[in-house]
Amino acid sequence: MERVPVLVIGGGYAGLSAATLLAWREVPVMLVERHPSTSVQPKAFGAGPRAVELLRPVQGLEEELTEVGAGAGEDLRIAIARDLTDPEPHLLLDGEWEHLALAGLTPAATVRAPQADIERVLRVKAEELGADLRFSTELISLEQDDGGVTALIRDKDGDHLVRAEYVVAADGHHSPLRHALDVPTSGKGELGRMCSIMFDADLSDLVREREVTLWYLRNDTFTGALVTGAGAGAHVLGVHHSEGESTADFTHERCVELVRLATGRPELDVRILDRTTFGIAHLLADTYQVGRVFFAGDAAHTMPPTGGQGGSAALQDGADLAWRLWLVLTGQAGPEFMDTYDAERRPIGALTADAQLAELGRRMPPAARVGYPEPLEDPLNALFGHRYHSTAILDEPGDDGSILENPRQGGGRPGSRAPHLVLDWDGQHISTIDLFGSGFVLMAAKQGGQTWMDAGRVVKERLGVHLTRLPVDDELLDVEGRFAEQYGVSGGGAVLVRPDGYVAWRAARAELDAVEALERALRAILSR
């Protein structure tokens, strides 16, 4: 029987991000995926900057991800049209808006690459870091007991038993593990099916300067979506099944015809590269945890693709599980700390899925869908302004319990993402975001903050916790003079930031017994 601390089921976004970040933290991990490789179809397009923030601590990873998306251009424009020749498309999103919206919020890039390319980069990085990735390998059964999980896996050489302490269930929207463990679900369920057609054609004269454009197409023949690449090369057309249609109806000849209709070029030279059918669904697991098994990605929340946040949510789930499992497996946190994953990620998963559902109603006919939620007033709030509430967050008195806030307002409240600020470190400008990822970070202004730095040294040794102490305006210079205001510690206080860049606790002002206050906070946060 093989033994490993963490077994990951599924080699998509959630599974690969979990495996990569566990291996980076030197936690042995095995990933099994029933398919022979990572995705062939492009699938989701792009990874948002919040997901990239969680991946960028791995040296070189952000650069490699942005490189595979370099050919796609910087701006994403989304429009509704009849076909690509439509002279008056209805513009839903202009890339310039995105640049303006994100300015000053994050140093992380938005990766403009298909899921297939991003998965390949993550696979290579995970293997470089020592993760044991096994493709063409299927989970057959799984049993839990008080001490761990025993899994039966099958590969080309037969059946094998694996003993793990924890399992990450990232096995897709159908999730055999979710069914096997009788996890109830809610949501609208399956909303329809699409045929995804990957094709090669020269669209240079059509895309012109619109290098990466997502088109929602509405015409007399079909409704669907088209993602165009940079002129010549591969593109993807998704077409909704009409009532009574099946996969067999999308023959090679019909796919060519649909591509020509979508592009408005009846004589276009088209080469079909691949086609597959998938369901569009709105399905939410009612719990993300069953004993030692944790659900992530589509296994936890299947959402319509409209809005483009499903892939980023999956990447964040995997990254989130990685740092929590690391804390527990290294003894820094108690076993009950894992309960905070469901408490924090499930409300955000539901909010994101509902937002994507609302966009489906807005972008694809029928335009008004009965019972669908309203689109978010400000999508930016969902990208960077979601708030967590759990035992791993020590809310302040009077906290309103909200799960969304305006990230531009800052404030550094516990449960909020730590604001991005520019700091100077030995003549080099860095972001506060660059300080997070490898452990907890205790930050305080130099003026009145030395007591907290001394307390941090004591508590770090007592609890054996990875804790970095950073007095701002000592080695790190607050370039814009905004640290105290943005983090809410103007009275000589301190702020404790988790490995995921979220504020876990804050002392708004100096305290007489800083050691006792900090130790009490960390013990509560870590379920110690």
Q: What are the residue numbers of the active site?
A: 216
Q: Which two tokens stand for residue 478?
A: 């607050």
* Secondary structure (H, E, C), 165-216: EEEEECCCCCCHHHHHCCCCEEEEEEEEEEEEEEEEEECHHHHCCCCEEEEE
- Taking Cα atoms as reference points, which of 518, 515, 484 lies closest to residue 504? 518
**How many CB atoms within 10 Å of residue 516?**
12
- How far is residue 64's CA from residue 123's CA, in Å, rounded to a whole number? 12
Residue ranges of E strands in 18-137: 29-33, 45-47, 76-81, 90-93, 111-114, 132-135
CA distance 424 to 475: 8
3-state DSSP assignment of residue 2: strand
Please answer whether residues 412 and 503 qualify as being in contact, where contact means their C-beta atoms are separated by less than 8 angstroms. Answer: yes
Residues 6 or more apart from 176 whose CB is under 8 A from it?
Answer: 139
Task: Read off φ and ψ for residue 260, nearest 5 degrees.
Answer: -65, -35
Alpha carbon distances (Å) from 2 to 210, 287, 292, 413? 51, 29, 18, 44
The half-sphere exposure of 69 on its side-chain side, counting CA atoms within 13 A, is: 27
Task: List all residues 6 or more positions away from 228 whose beta carbon is below 8 Å from its beta carbon.
Answer: 84, 203, 206, 207, 210, 212, 213, 215, 235
| b/e code 24-40 from CB counts within 10 Å (16+ = b) | bbebebbbbbbeeebbe
